[in-house]
Amino acid sequence: MTKPHSAVANGSFDVELVRADFPALSLEVNGHPLTYLDNAASAQKPRQVIDRMVTAYEREYSNVHRGLHYLANAATEAFEHARETARAFLNAESIDEIIFTRSGTGAINTVASSLGQSIEAGDEIVLSIMEHHSNIVPWHFLRERKGAVIKWAPVREDGSFDLDAFKALLGPRTKIVAITHMSNVLGTVTPIKEIAAAAHAVGAKVAVDGCQAIVHMPVDVRDLDVDFYAVTGHKLYAPTGIGLLYGKKELLEAMPPYEGGGEMIREVTEETVTYGVPPHRFEAGTPPIVQAIGLGAAMEYVQSIGRERIAAHEHDLSAYAHERLRALNSLRIIGTAADKGAIISFEMKGAHPHDVATIIDRYGVAVRAGTHCAQPLLARYGATATCRASFALYNTRADVDRLFDALVKAQDLFA
């Protein structure tokens, strides 16, 4: 069991103790304390993760599996411990259901490329209009190359997911439902359990983009009854270059490999190749060893604080941020669904989002500006770009206040 963090002693949540774990948060930008609100793009890393990776490089590094020497055994043990940590983090039934990938994008492409081999012309894939491009383009490949049909589930004006409209899209030709658990633009949390039940009722498989949701809430893949769940590390306080795919064991065993190479085989002759069993069937070549160890350390860090506690802290921040930013008449907030995650996307009247982001950066406030890799969603709201402030477990109400003050200065400049 992971030891509780000192920040949560006696059931409290001391955000300043949490902030002390993150070296980047002590930086100054343009003479101002860094106010980092670009977490939906990538989160900062705690010292516990950084130190664990340094130890892996300095004292445990070798290639994993098959080696018989001390360092190979040490690296393999640490690598597979990370897999078990991930299994527990998602409440998967078996470590055989946890595949390490290079990213969340890599996880989604694994499903689309492997499961997609069974797609025929006219088969239907249902997406939501909220999807990140990483959960659109791999399915578009199947439309482009195999004649699949893509259908789009809508959202209401407030950004909430329209479950009834989604269900109306399902039918006998629906083969795959690929959908986000939490929108990276709106913060909308989709009713994945109900979505999965409806999709399974028509015989479709359910692949979930969990790259945002996994950061902000507890996720139980068995309770949700999803077939696949994609996760990225760099948003979850882990390094870049690592993600994972959860897949139900029986489905993974029936799926052809995504990539070929070493590790994913059982036997190779001049005439035949026999593939290994999951998860190794889908982990061709040398894996991201230290990155996976870093991901495991990040998950343990999050567990030491408690995901319910983190969710409550971020919910408070999100409510406070919405309250403050609504006071700025020049802002249009896009996405106000109930129980949304801690993300606020907005436009400022008379100013391009890139200009707004540049101005507030002068005051040390970091937000994302652009399309957020979600162009179909922005088109639905008649926008070409937005600013996005996104919150993490280390953010505070003081960060919200600094965002507000910087936006006031930008508003005055562009008025």
- Distance separating alpha carbons of residues 353 and 347, to the nearest angstrom: 7
3-class DSSP state of 133: helix
Q: Give SS3 for 138.
A: helix
The set of residues, in sequence order, having a beta carbon less than 8 Å from that of 176 and lying 6+ positions away, is 115, 116, 119, 125, 126, 139, 204, 205, 206, 207
The question of whether 387 is a catalytic residue gets the answer no
Give dist(CA 394, CA 380) in Å, integer. Answer: 32
271 half-sphere exposure, CB direction, 13 A CA radius: 0
Instruction: Name the active-site residue from 373, 404, 405, 409.
Output: 373
Contact by Cβ (8 Å): 30, 363:
yes
H or E element, residue 167? helix 163-169
Beta-strand relationship, 343-348 and 386-390 = antiparallel
Residues 6 or more apart in contact with residue 200 via CB below 8 angstroms: 206, 225
Q: How far is CA 42 from the centre of its chain?
A: 9
* Residues identified as active-site: 373
